[in-house]
Amino acid sequence: DKGNYRHFMAKEIHEQPEVLGHTLSRYIDLGNSRVKVPGAEAVDFSKLNRILISACGTAYLAGLVAKYWFEKYARLPVDIDIASEFRYRETPVAKGEFALFISQSGETADTLASLRYCKENGATIGAVVNVPESTIARESDVVFQTIAGPEIGVASTKAFTCQLAVLAALALHAGRQRGTVSEAQEKDLVAALGSIPGLAVQALKCETSIEALALPLSRVSNALYLGRGTNFPLALEGALKLKELSYIHAEGYAAGELKHGPIALIDENMPVFVIAPHDSIYEKTVSNMQEVAARGGRIVLITDQKGADASGNAAQNTVILPDVPEIAAPIIYALPVQMIAYHTAVFMGTDVDQPRNLAKSVTVE
């Protein structure tokens, strides 16, 4: 049931404050300012030298954000791979390692094959899944469930942000166990995670400004997305969403990679989405943005008020989000990224919930 929404995707975008609340309440104890990850006893993070992560599509991009978190908060290296590559690469996996698989459906063929490969090699298997009775959930040693509810739209929206919520909590849990996150830090970070549902409500309010951008965007044939740090995977996610929903060719790049090639693409017809909250690496991203502006690129800056004030006049359009704590940023910034793709597709008249050539669950390789 779509309720009052035109598409399942719109409904699922707007459900995010609620389902993020459900998911977070399972993984953080706000009253005691602690993370609590049911099932995490299965893994001793203090003994690990690395984590393996493998997934496909948007779930892979959630894993890419998690790599930044595990490395920063738990000082634990992450080897992440697209499942279709991982499964055939003959990666050495040793007994006692921890391998984590991320999947909304829990049925993705390549992710499942990667899981089985790691299992055969003696790894402990963890899975972040949305469907608890799925094959991936059944074959895992420990399941970290996302409480996103059924996701009907082919484009992953609420499953993605709930995956991020679970992964953030898991990274902090690992950090606590490894002694790299102090009690005081945990308290602040848990409060930051607890603020996410409320921030998501505020972030959804930028929908009107996004709708206004979507009409001109529906007439272009290429777009770029740029971000640094955890906003780099979001840039990839923005490009993936735009491609799958509106069939506009789009690419995401780490902002610092721009001058190593893609800047050659910039002209006055190229929209460039820059995802840059006013954080510790904001200045770096803005200098990349100025390089784009100097070559005539049409910039849409997605930032907060401070970021907007500090951006000079490089951006043609600015989408302003609430101020967010750094750990919450990838979750909150996912919302405008989803809405850009959604509204562009609506203007183009494509089949938003069931884009051409795509299936919700890819059970063949």
Query: Which residues are part of the catalytic machinery?
Result: 360
Does 155 sit near ligand M6R (CB under 6 A)?
Answer: yes
Residue 23 or 111 with smaller CB distance to ligand M6R: 111
Does 145 sit near ligand M6R (CB under 6 A)?
Answer: no
Residue 107 CB, nearest distance to ligand M6R (Å)? 7
Site for ligand M6R in 232-251 (CB under 6 A): 244
Site for ligand M6R in 281-320 (CB under 6 A): none
Does 104 sit near ligand M6R (CB under 6 A)?
Answer: yes
Q: How far apart are the first and last CA of the chain?
A: 31
Residue 185 or 354 with smaller CB distance to ligand M6R: 354
Site for ligand M6R in 178-207 (CB under 6 A): none
Nearest to 159, CA basis, from 29, 9, 51: 9
Does 57 sit near ligand M6R (CB under 6 A)?
Answer: yes
Does 154 sit near ligand M6R (CB under 6 A)?
Answer: yes
Q: Give the interface segment with ligand M6R, choosing from 32-40, 103-111, 248-256, 334-342 (CB under 6 A).
A: 103-111
CA pair distance 49, 94, nearest whole angstrom: 11
The H or E element containing residue 126 is strand 124-129
Residue from 124, 156, 161, 246 touching ligand M6R (CB under 6 A): that is 156
Residue from 54, 84, 108, 161 touching ligand M6R (CB under 6 A): that is 108
Nearest to 270, CA basis, from 234, 217, 227, 232: 217
Does 59 sit near ligand M6R (CB under 6 A)?
Answer: yes
Q: Where does the chain have alpha helices with state H?
A: 8-14, 16-27, 57-73, 83-86, 109-120, 135-138, 158-178, 183-194, 196-204, 207-217, 231-246, 282-294, 305-309, 329-348
Contacts of 75 (CB under 8 A, 6+ apart): 175, 178, 180
Contacts of 164 (CB under 8 A, 6+ apart): 62, 65, 66, 330, 331, 334
Residue 158 or 178 with smaller CB distance to ligand M6R: 158
Nearest to 224, CA basis, from 258, 190, 183: 258
Residue 297 CB, nearest distance to ligand M6R (Å)? 26
Q: Give the interface segment with ligand M6R, choosing from 53-61, 185-193, 269-277, 341-349 (CB under 6 A).
A: 53-61
Does 58 sit near ligand M6R (CB under 6 A)?
Answer: yes
- Identity (one letter) of the amino acid at 20? L
Identify the residue whose tokens are 């959930």: 137
Residue 118 or 155 with smaller CB distance to ligand M6R: 155
Angle made by CA atoms 310, 315, 321, in degrees to the nearest 5: 65
- Give the interface with ligand M6R as residue ranges (CB under 6 A): 56-59, 103-105, 108, 111, 154-156, 244, 361-362
